[in-house]
Structure 1
Amino acid sequence: MKDFGLLLLRVGFSALMLTHGIPKFLKLIQGNFEFGDPFGIGAAPSLFLAVIGEAICPILVIIGIKTRWASIPVIITMLVAAFLIHANDPFSVKEKALLFLIGFTSILLLGPGKFSLDKK
């Protein structure tokens, strides 16, 4: 049952993350680079990094390819979202980023389980 739990954790958190990442990906391919710039690197690079963390890496986590490595950009993205972007917002606004942070940190620590391409 542990491996089914890990599969549910990977697929559940990643699928929910994609609801945030896919709109950003579509924005990127449409050429709309309006986005926050928390590190001063520019809106386009910041959007590109967010797409990696919220769309590309969650797909890798769902499939189970380099799962632990793929969870790291998501964790970094959620740290930025919770503690930089929403630093002055109430907890109820930060909560979603913190939940994703906990979920993907758990994936990093536990690994993908046997129902992944990592284990094939």
Structure 2
Amino acid sequence: MTGRGAVGWTLVRVVFGLTLALGHGLGKVTGDMSGFAEGVAKLGFPAPMFFAWCAALAEFLGGLAVALGLLTRPAALFAGFTMLVALFRHRADPFGRMELSILFLTVMVATLLIGGGPFSLDALLRRKKA
């Protein structure tokens, strides 16, 4: 991937990663997790507080890692799985409630397939190693 495609992919990766991290994950990891854990419990997860923290960290740290392009594919895997669960959680809601989960899931799957691209910390580390 070179040229405009690389710049375009970097823009998508950074905007979606930061939006997931700062718009959705940050509030969870810095706030009261009890309400979020109740929602996780309603989904039938054992140890709902533990899984609520896993989801919150996948959104926050995973989003930051995707934005930076650092450990991009593993970060996208965790964040994408969290978005799949969020989509399941909102399956009976109006489309507007599901829409964000669908968009984030789609970008995380694309990130799994494409990786961070040439303008990522992963690529920088690969170049330095070679």
Q: In structure 2, how many angstroms separate the alpha carbons of the residues matched to 1:116 and 1:98?
A: 24
In structure 1, the residue corresponding to 2:34 is in which secondary structure?
coil
Aligned to 2:128: none
More helix by share: 2
Aligned to 1:22: 26
Aligned to 1:103: 107
Aligned to 1:40: 45
Please tell me the residue identity of whatever aligns with 1:11.
V
Aligned to 1:8: 11
Q: Is the 8 A contact 1:9 1:107 kept in 2?
A: no
Deviation readout 1:59-101 (Å, 9 max, x if unpaired) = 1111111101110011111110111x11221222111110111
TM-score by length of 2: 0.82
Q: In structure 1, how many angstroms separate the alpha carbons of the residues matched to 2:68 and 2:8?
A: 15
Structure 1 runs not aligned, ≥5 long: none
Aligned to 1:51: 56
Q: CA deviation at 1:42?
A: 2.6
State how many pairs are aligned. 116
Segments ≥4 residues shifted beyond 6 Å = none
TM-score by length of 1: 0.88
Q: In structure 1, how many angstroms separate the alpha carbons of the residues matched to 2:84 and 2:49?
A: 19
Larger radius of gyration: 2
Q: CA deviation at 1:17?
A: 0.8
- How much identity, in percent, do the aligned residues show? 33
